[in-house]
Structure 1
Amino acid sequence: MAFPSSSSPQGKYDVFLSFRGADTRNNFTSHLYAALCQKKINAFIDDEELERGEQISPSLLNAIEQSKISLIIFSKGYASSRWCLEELEKILECKNNNGQIVMPVFHNIDPSDVRSQNGTFGDAFAEHEEQFKGRQDMVQRWRIVLRDAANLSGFDSNVIRGPELF
């Protein structure tokens, strides 16, 4: 895939990486980030771009808005993070309002579990519904954005593309 030039006025970042840190930060995501940087693609990853003392929420929301592409790395624990779900809401808002390119990556998770909120995604939503009893509208929005994001064309780590090398 060709990435837009960093000098484009559309955004400060070429790529925003949305991921559950506990699941993928020190393996898949760190390798992906390194590969993007090696190719001179300006990628935002939360642990290296935030200035000390800055509030996380506004900084991440701003980075999403200033990105041309968002890669959503769905993993088993993604839906258990309220912040991941709020990021996802913002990402799809930027897709719908600003034409941001959004690509899901299903990392060791079945895309249908994300789409239908089954498995660990179902467990996470059972907890969210209990925790946010007075805010079911928020939980429902999260369900919708997960389904919408899972319906986008993306990459599934469980499907091998191209010839297998042994």
Structure 2
Amino acid sequence: MASSSSFPLMKYQVFLSFRGEDTRLNFTSHLLKALKATGMSVFFDEEKLERGEHILPALSQAIVASRLSIIVLSSDYASSKSCLAELSDIMDRRGSHGQIVLPIFYHVDPSHVRNFGGSFKTCFDGHESNKPLDEVKRWKAAFAEAGELKGLHIEGSKFDR
């Protein structure tokens, strides 16, 4: 029988990754409410981060302490450096510890995520011009990998809110 120290303590069942400006007040808030209604413990940055806390280390710790990450990939997700850093941590955790990752393609074409099409090309071109190339390469690899995963595709209508 494995000792309890061989498994990390999971504080959250779900880590929710999303671009706040795109989905916080509509889709993500409804998703959060639905997950909590089932009794799940969800890391949601507005509820869990303390004022003055360093955001990126706190998010990395929450990813490690979660069984599942849900990534809401929206049209401006890749414009956020912090979202891309978070995604990179999630995909690293998937590779190293088998964390389950569920992408939700929210009003975006999954092939645009895989192939850096549409608005994503512009976002990554911008990052390449003002961020270290090794960091951008890491983000791009994580982004493309997330685009290859089977997930949910929400094409968008007035009824998905």
**TM-score by shorter chain over 0.5:** yes
Identity %: 47
Residue-by-residue CA offset, 1:84-140 (whole Å, 9 max, x unaligned): 1100110011111111100100000000111111111011011101112xx111111
Q: Which amino acid aligns with 2:126?
A: E
Alignment match, 1:49:
48
SS in 1 for 2:82: helix
Q: Distance in 2 between matches of 1:10 and 1:32?
A: 25
CA drift at 1:158: 2.1
Alignment match, 2:159:
none
Alignment match, 1:111:
110
Alignment match, 1:156:
153
Q: Distance in 2 between matches of 1:71 and 1:126?
A: 26
Alignment match, 1:87:
86
Unaligned runs of 5+ in 2: 1-6, 157-161
Q: Which amino acid aligns with 1:150?
A: G
TM-score, with length taken from structure 1: 0.87
Alignment match, 2:3:
none
- Whether the 8 Å CA contact 2:8–2:65 is kept in 1: the answer is no
Aligned residue pairs total 151
Q: Distance in 2 between matches of 1:128 and 1:53?
A: 27
| Residue 140 of structure 1, aligned match among 123, 137, 150 | 137
- Provide runs of 4+ in structure 1 moved above 6 Å: none
CA RMSD, aligned part only?
A: 1.6
